[in-house]
Amino acid sequence: MPEVVAELRKVTKVYGRGPTAVVALRDVDLRVEEGEVLIIMGPSGSGKTTLLNILGTLDKPTSGRVILCGTDVTDLPEKELTRFRLEHLGFVFQFYNLIPTLTALENVMLPMILLGRHSMNYVRTRALALLKIVGLEERAHCYPQTLSGGEQQRVAIARALANNPDLILMDEPTGAIDLESTVRILQLIKFLNRYLRTTFVIVTHNPEVALIGTRVLYLRGGVLREVPELPTLRGSELEREPEELRELLLTALEEEVEVFKKLVRRGVVRSEDVKRWLRRVRYCVETLSRSHTPRHSPQYHKSSQDSGLWRSGGRT
C-alpha cells in the first residue's frame, strides 16, 4: 500500500475578520500518496495557491491539521519548518524564483549547501548531474537573466530535486512559458514521476497539465472536489521518453547510494528516512532496469535520435 506523503484534515483558511473576512479554504480533506502526480485546477481566487502554500508549510491553516511525511507540522515553529522544508519538500514557482546573482549551477547547489549534509565536491557534482538530466548542462554557468523562460523553469525543477524531496509542489509551472517549453516541462515531470517515483502536487489553470496527472481535483470557492475522468496521453508528444535520460538517472542513483551510505554511518538521517529512501531507490532501480535499452540495440539508436531535444544547448 502506498505511503501517504501529505494529508490535510479539515483544513480551513480565513483571511481577515468580521464581515470582510474571506474564506479561502473550507474544511478541506486531502491525502497525497507516494508516486502521485496530483493536479489541482480551479479558477482564479479559488484557493489553489493558498492550498499549495499550506501543503508547503509557507502558510498555516486557521483550523485543521497538516501532516507531511508522517509528521504533524501544523504547530511547528518556523526554525523547525525551515529545516523540514529543506529535507522533505521541493518548490517550483510560476516565475521561477531563481536568485539572479547566482548561476544556474549555483542555484541548484544552494538547497544542498543550506542542508549542510554533503561536501562541496558532492554538491557541485550532483548539481551538474541534475542540470544534465533537465538538459541544461551546457548552460550551467549562465545567469538566470541570460536564460529563456523554459530554461529557467528547468533550472527550478533541478533545484527542487536537489535534496531528494518526498514531495515537489508546483504553482502554475507552465504559466509563463511558451508551448514548446510547456511540452518539454511536462515530459520531464512525467519522466521523473515514472522512473524516480517523485510525488508532485501541481496547481494550474492549464488543462494540458492534466494530461500527466494520476489524479485531478477541482477547487472552487475553497471546496475541493474529485474529477472522475482523466484525459489520456494517447498520441501525445508527451509519451516520448529519451533513452539518454534513463541512463543519466541510473548513474545518478548509483552515486546517491554511495552518499547515502555515508550519511547513515554518520547518523545524520532518521531511521524512517532510511526506510523511505530504500523503498524509493529499490523502485527506481527496478523500473529503470526494466525499461533500459542496451546501447548496442537498434532501439537504442532510435531513442538516441529522439533524445536530441534534451541534449540541445539551445534556448527553449
Residue 24 has pLDDT above 90, yes or no: yes
Q: From CA 256, how far away is CA 259, in angstroms rounded? A: 5
What CATH class is the domain 4-229+245-309? alpha beta
Residue 77 has pLDDT above 50, yes or no: yes
Predicted confidence at residue 242, as pLDDT, reads 58
Predicted confidence at residue 205, as pLDDT, reads 86
Residue 298 has pLDDT above 50, yes or no: no
Predicted confidence at residue 316, as pLDDT, reads 34
Predicted confidence at residue 28, as pLDDT, reads 96
Local confidence band at 231 (pLDDT 50, 70, 90 cut-offs): low
C-alpha cell recorded at residue 301: 539508436
Q: Which of 65-69, 206-210, 270-274 has the highest mean pLDDT?
A: 65-69
Residue 305 has pLDDT above 60, yes or no: no
Neighbouring CB atoms inside 10 A of 167's CB total 23
Q: Who has greater pLDDT, 281 or 206?
A: 206
Local confidence band at 59 (pLDDT 50, 70, 90 cut-offs): very high
Residue 303 has pLDDT above 50, yes or no: no
Q: Which of 21-35, 176-190, 197-211, 285-299 has the highest mean pLDDT?
A: 21-35
C-alpha cell recorded at residue 270: 532518521
301-314: average pLDDT: 34
Residue 294 has pLDDT above 60, yes or no: no
Nearest of 62, 68, 61 to residue 88 by alpha carbon: 68
Q: From CA 215, how far away is CA 32, in angstroms rounded? A: 10
Determine whether 289 is exposed, middle or buried from the number of CB atoms within 10 Å of its CB (0-12, 13-18, 19+). Answer: exposed
Looking at residue 232, its amino acid is T
Predicted confidence at residue 300, as pLDDT, reads 32
Predicted confidence at residue 151, as pLDDT, reads 96
Residue 82 has pLDDT above 90, yes or no: yes
pLDDT tens, position by position, 185-212: 998 898 889 888 899 999 998 888 888 8
Contacts of 260 (CB under 8 A, 6+ apart): 269, 277, 281
Determine whether 181 is exposed, middle or buried from the number of CB atoms within 10 Å of its CB (0-12, 13-18, 19+). Answer: buried
Q: Who has greater pLDDT, 10 or 309?
A: 10
Ramachandran angles phi, psi of 239, nearest 5°? -75, -15
Residue 173 has pLDDT above 50, yes or no: yes
Write the DSSP symbol of residue 166: S
pLDDT tens, position by position, 112-152: 999 998 899 999 999 999 999 999 999 999 999 999 999 99
